[in-house]
Structure 1
């Protein structure tokens, strides 16, 4: 099974037009991007750098040390840049949490990092009259691989209908540096964290499974046609089912 290739020129034009219309409709004057130095946020930044008459602000939010890649990206595409190192903010929050809990619960701490980042992005969007750009792709959205109200929060999601493999294709068309394209994907929530380890498979495998599901193929057909272990197919379907709440608005008790 092969993921369909996109027409990069068409997709670029479509996304830029989409962003410009949404910003104009909102009455804002620009966009703010959480610039991690990873593939997805870099592609969104490259696209936003092509916007006409709109202010673009890239904000790097590393936990401990400065993000060299994010700085270089902002400089290369000539957008405004700001960096906020989070360790002092996180230290302040952690002082109200029992130390043994703070040290042991890696997932909760990682989610706190993601939500702190988004709080700061929305603060800067408020004071600059900007929209917050989502940088998540279709692959991550399908399996719920994002933090609810963290990196999953945004005003618009420009690349939300592109598989990760298609984002890479678009990146090459936009002339994103090869070291960014080949960089090991990570949310940067803790030391040594990688997308592949968290998801349990690489994005090429994940994308083939999701594409097969969207084509209406059976579990066995997806596994056989893509030479993928059937257990991985079942795992992706389970992740999708278990994360429905992340993709939907909170339910309301109707009276």
Structure 2
């Protein structure tokens, strides 16, 4: 991949989209991870107003530090970049107090993790509404169209998706080209939604390199019978997640009413 040309293409795409939409710029949630770091730099390079938002909810200190380091670097580099911090921890805790108790801890943990993402989406759209901005998504191709590793109407609720046609490995290539902070490039990918140290690989059961391989295999018509050992295990993980998360990747189903019923 020619990272420099891809970067230039995305920046021009964002710039033209903002002009056509008659908006003032972009707002991005900064997590301390590679995807949000790359996306925010691309938005900043458009010259349009770019608001970077920290939204901690019981966040690990390492994630907070990486996010802050990246934001400060952006603000030092680009005059069009500003930042906002919205600590949603108390909001999250207040929400939990108002909800019914449940005994199934596994479903509760996932529901609360998704709630964190949706609280952040609400905050981003609030800020976007104040200043006429677009919410820039940070999902990559493997997450958005491979395994559906994101929260519906959470981090999946965005206006534009600048890096959604790039594999995770390609995002890392862009990160090197854009000189993203080394601490972010070297960090293990994590959604940070559970308040612990679990990584994306811990949750999914496969690394992004493995998922990219499986994605390529499925696109080329391969089946479980074609693999053994770890390859078979990874391929099953990918195809299972790709199947059960189709509801995230496809338009919301609409019940059509024929004219004879109206």
Settle same-fold status: TM greater than 0.5: yes
How many equivalent residue pairs?
246
Once the two structures are superposed, the pairs formed by residues 31-70 of structure 1 within 5 Å of their partners are 31-52=26-47, 54-64=48-58, 67-70=64-67
Query: How far apart in 2 are the matches of 1:111 and 1:242?
Result: 16
Matched with 1:214 is 219
User: Are 1:179 and 2:176 matched, yes or no?
Assistant: no
Q: How far is the alpha carbon of 1:72 from its aligned partner?
A: 1.7
Question: 56, 81, 86: which one pairs with 2:88?
Answer: 86
Q: How far is the alpha carbon of 1:60 from its aligned partner?
A: 0.8
Secondary structure of the structure 2 residue equivalent to 1:25: helix
Larger mean Cα displacement after TM superposition, 101-110 or 151-160: 101-110
Query: How far apart in 2 are the matches of 1:38 and 1:249?
Result: 28
Query: How far apart in 1 are the matches of 2:177 and 2:230?
Result: 29
Q: How far is the alpha carbon of 1:98 from its aligned partner?
A: 3.2
Asked if 1 retains the 8 angstrom alpha-carbon contact of 2:53 and 2:83, the reply is yes
Once the two structures are superposed, the pairs formed by residues 135-214 of structure 1 within 5 Å of their partners are 135-141=138-144, 142-190=146-194, 191-214=196-219
Q: How far is the alpha carbon of 1:64 from its aligned partner?
A: 2.6
Query: How far apart in 2 are the matches of 1:90 and 1:103?
Result: 17
Matched with 1:15 is 10
Asked if 2 retains the 8 angstrom alpha-carbon contact of 1:36 and 1:60, the reply is yes
Secondary structure of the structure 1 residue equivalent to 2:193: coil
Q: Structure 1: 5+ residue runs without aligned partners?
A: 1-5
Asked if 2 retains the 8 angstrom alpha-carbon contact of 1:32 and 1:133, the reply is yes
User: Which 4+ residue blocks in structure 1 deviate beyond 6 angstroms?
Assistant: none
> What RMSD in Å do the two structures reach over aligned CA positions?
1.8
Instruction: State the TM-score, normalizing by the size of structure 2.
Output: 0.88
Would the alpha carbon gap of residues 130 and 101 (structure 1) be closer, same or farther in structure 2, given more than 3 Å must change? farther
Matched with 2:241 is 239
Once the two structures are superposed, the pairs formed by residues 128-139 of structure 1 within 5 Å of their partners are 128-139=131-142
